[in-house]
Amino acid sequence: MTGAAVAALSWPAAAAADPATDARIAALEAQVNALAAQIADLKASTSGDVETLTAQVSDLKTSSAADVAALRTESLATTVSLANGRPTFASSDGAFSASLRGVFQLDAAHYDQNSPGPLGADFRRGSVNDAAENDRARDLNDGANFRRARIGIEGKAFRDVEYNFLYDFGGSGVEEAGKISAAWVQYNGLGKVRLRIGAFSPPAGLEEAVSTNGSLFAERASPSELVRGIASGDGRTAIGLFANGDRWNVSGALSGNVIGAQTFDEQLAFVGRAAFVPFLRDNAMIHLGVNTSIVLSPAATAPDVAGAAPTTLRLRDRPELRVDGTRLVDTGNIDADGLVEIGAELGGQYKNFYGQAEYFDIKLDRKGALSDPKFKGWYVQGGWTITGEKRRYAIASATFDSPRPDKPFNPKDGGWGAWELGLRYSKLDLNFNEGAPGTAAVASAIRGGEQEILTVGLNWYLNTVLRFQAAVQDVKVDRLSAGGSTFIAGSTPPAGAQVGQDLRIYSLRTQYAF
């Protein structure tokens, strides 16, 4: 550009040599040369700035790449923890986790009852048409039994998917080879609503919803346990929806058979529950709830052919302990099209005092011309934590869980764990048109029996994983024999004879759960 300017200015000078013109040309050439020098300086300065800026950008890229790589490494890192003795593996971003779960409950018991006499004179009986339980009712087993021996894994994946798998080797009276207690997945990405499918126990009541690891007594109250067995209970296939807010909880599920129970057609039932906390303070609260279990279609026990009676329902239970698995109240099989249970719940807490009660009404839709039988049951129980801790109420499950010791057991540090007293009275009535003692039963009668149990218990929570439960139960069973072939062949007491009994049970549970 400079050279072109000089040439343009020199051309007229060559054409006419004029001193004044030469002076002007010289001045312009000086200006052009100064401009050229400035342009050269500007180029040199700009080149240095560009190089500096380029170097800074390169450094920033390198630093950013390192930061991104570090973040990616951190997000893929796995953390390991042992909170409350439970091994948990989790990604640092919280999207994935896996926790090992385990529990063992060893029960020991002494059944204080009258000595057994010959079958012809001692009429005490257990379940209907069950040879293994009939004779045992006269001499229940003193000894020990692993009620639960469970191992499993639970956690979440991709943040919104929750899962649980639990296998159980314990049992009622006799330990089992192993069975699925829970195996389900749950999607939590629907806001307040959670969708679960698999094998689980749909919540059928206030006491049923609490984990057995934190229950006030070794077993649920008999009416609650019986209702739980209708369409809920461990290992039952189901699909359900769960939702809760700060003070409310609702759930509903369709359930089928318990895993391993093979029938011609599975039972289909609905289990629903709603709970509300109308009063809530730091040291006090009140729980209200309702629940229902509706058997829409009982399980078929034979091919569904015209004129056949393939669907039966049966209600029975044990005396709130399972060292001996004998059931002392039992309706026997009832040919039915369905069942409706409706329950009411009431619970409350004031500081370290807690109480709850439930009432259940059960009606069967019996086939044929016989009247539909109705049964009922209720219980009330309460606890007082002597050491001051209180039971924990969780609205996610709408139930009360065990207290946690403020001072875990450690005599050197003055810690003695948490101590809790419990008291419960339950009544389960499985009689319908039972009639008077010494009389034959009418056609519509069901002599399932009436069971009343008063329980006093003491719980010692050494820490968050280990506890002992001691209890004394006073059991009264009033039950009349239906006569005929109600019990095993050759040992059926006369119609109207008393086949129930009064006894006491002394028990101790050792539990370790993580």
pLDDT tens-place string over residues 310-361: 789 999 999 999 999 999 999 999 999 999 999 999 999 999 999 999 999 9
Same domain assignment for residues 339 and 279 = yes
Residue 102 shares a structural domain with residue 236: yes
- DSSP structural state of residue 172: S
Residue 90 shares a structural domain with residue 193: yes
Q: In angstroms, rounded to a whole number, what is the distance separating the alpha carbons of residues 500 and 327?
A: 11
CA distance 253 to 365: 21
pLDDT at site 24? 75
- In the prediction, which pLDDT does 4 show? 44
Same domain, 44 and 116: no
* pLDDT value at residue 131: 78
Tell me whether residue 400 is in a domain.
yes
How do 193-199 and 399-401 pair as beta strands? unpaired
Query: What is the per-residue pLDDT for 7?
Result: 44
Distances (CA, A) of 279 to 210, 250, 359, 424: 21, 18, 21, 24
Q: Specify whether 198 is located in the same domain as 122.
A: yes
Predicted pLDDT at 28: 75
Q: Which class for 38: exposed (0-12), middle (13-18), buried (19 or more C-beta within 10 A)? A: exposed
Q: How many alpha carbons lie under 13 Å from residue 465 in its C-beta half-sphere? A: 13
364 and 411 co-located in one domain = yes
**Domain co-membership, 196 together with 333:** yes
Same domain? For 312 and 282 the reply is yes
Q: Report DSSP state, residue 85.
A: G
The total of structural domains in the chain comes to 2
Helices (H), 76-165: 131-134
In three-state secondary structure terms, 237 is strand
pLDDT at 72: 60
- What's the confidence (pLDDT) of residue 2? 46
* pLDDT of amino acid 42: 66
DSSP 255-303: EEEETT---SB--EEEEEEEEEEEEE-SSEEEEEEEEEEEEEEPPBSS-
Closest CA to 487 of 142, 136, 113, 115: 136
Which pLDDT does position 38 carry in this prediction?
76
- If asked whether residues 44 and 161 sit together in one domain, one would say no
Q: Residue 200, class by beta-carbon neighbours within 10 Å (0-12 exposed, 13-18 middle, 19+ buried)? A: buried
Q: Which residues contact 159 (CB under 8 A, 6 or more apart)?
A: 94, 95, 189
User: Could you list the residue range(s) of the whole structural domain that residue 52 is in?
Assistant: 2-68
Biggest CA-to-CA distance, the chain: 157
How many CA atoms, within 13 angstroms, populate the side-chain half-sphere of residue 211?
17
- Give the CATH number for residue 279: 2.40.160.10
Q: Residues 139, 8: one domain? A: no
DSSP 8-state assignment for residue 442: P
Q: Which of 43, 68, 93 is the last residue of a domain?
A: 68
Query: Has residue 439 been placed in a domain?
Result: yes
Q: Are residues 35 and 97 in the same domain?
A: no
CA dihedral sign, ordered 336, 327, 359, 443: positive
Any domain includes 73: no
Residue where a domain stops, chosen among 68, 101, 117: 68
HEC profile for 347-376?
Answer: EEEECCEEEEEEEEEEEEEECCCCCCCEEE
Q: Which residues, 6 or more positions from 118, have their beta carbon under 8 angstroms from its beta carbon?
A: none
Domain edge (last residue) among 68, 90, 109: 68
pTM of the entire structure? 0.84
Using 70 as the pLDDT threshold, list the residues of the chain that sit under it.
1-18, 21, 42-55, 57, 60-61, 63-64, 67-76, 306-309, 489-490
Q: Are 84 and 16 within one domain?
A: no
* Angle between helices 2-15 and 19-75 in degrees, nearest 10: 170
